[in-house]
Amino acid sequence: QVQLVQSGAEVKKPGASVKVSCKASGYPFNSYIITWVRQAPGQGLEWMGWINTYNGNTNYAQKFQGRVTMTTDTSTNTAYMELRSLRSDDTAVYFCARGTNHDILTGYVFDYWGQGTLVTVSS
């Protein structure tokens, strides 16, 4: 069965970086994009960007450009999201999700999600 298993919770100081992993199994890794979504405590979902696991192309939300890098390791079917220059308002649960491409009007549907990784930024 399709599974996305994320790395464990992290506590970071302001200004530091964090790298969250997302290990996929149960499907051909290179055939689906991976997207990253975060959720601050008590807040809604915020889309961060996606990576094409086939060719490594990325597209980041403007808010995160210059501060986020998404990569993959196809030898281990693992996706990574690194966020730099952390601030207290980066405290959130970070989710990875698999994106399945449908028609152009529908776009990508995020059909399987990881369990989430809590990143806490505190001095």
CB 83 to another protein: min, Å: 18
35 binds another protein (CB under 8 A): yes
Choose between 13 and 98: whose C-beta lies nearer to another protein. 98
Count of residues that bind another protein according to CB under 8 A: 26
- Do residues 22 and 96 make contact, with C-beta atoms less than 8 angstroms apart? yes
Q: How many CB atoms lie within 10 A of CB 112?
A: 17
Tell which positions 64-93 bind another protein, by CB under 8 A. none
Closest alpha carbon to 51 in 83, 24, 78, 79: 79
- Do residues 52 and 58 make contact, with C-beta atoms less than 8 angstroms apart? yes
CB 119 to another protein: min, Å: 16
50 binds another protein (CB under 8 A): yes
54 binds another protein (CB under 8 A): no
CA dihedral 78, 43, 90, 13 (to 10 degrees): -100
95 binds another protein (CB under 8 A): yes
How far is residue 91's CA from residue 12's CA, in Å, rounded to a whole number? 9
Instruction: Identify the DSSP state of 74.
Output: T
Q: Which of 10, 46, 54, 84 binds another protein (CB under 8 A)?
A: 46
Residues that bind another protein (CB under 8 A): 35, 37, 44-47, 50, 59, 61-62, 95, 97, 102-111, 113-116
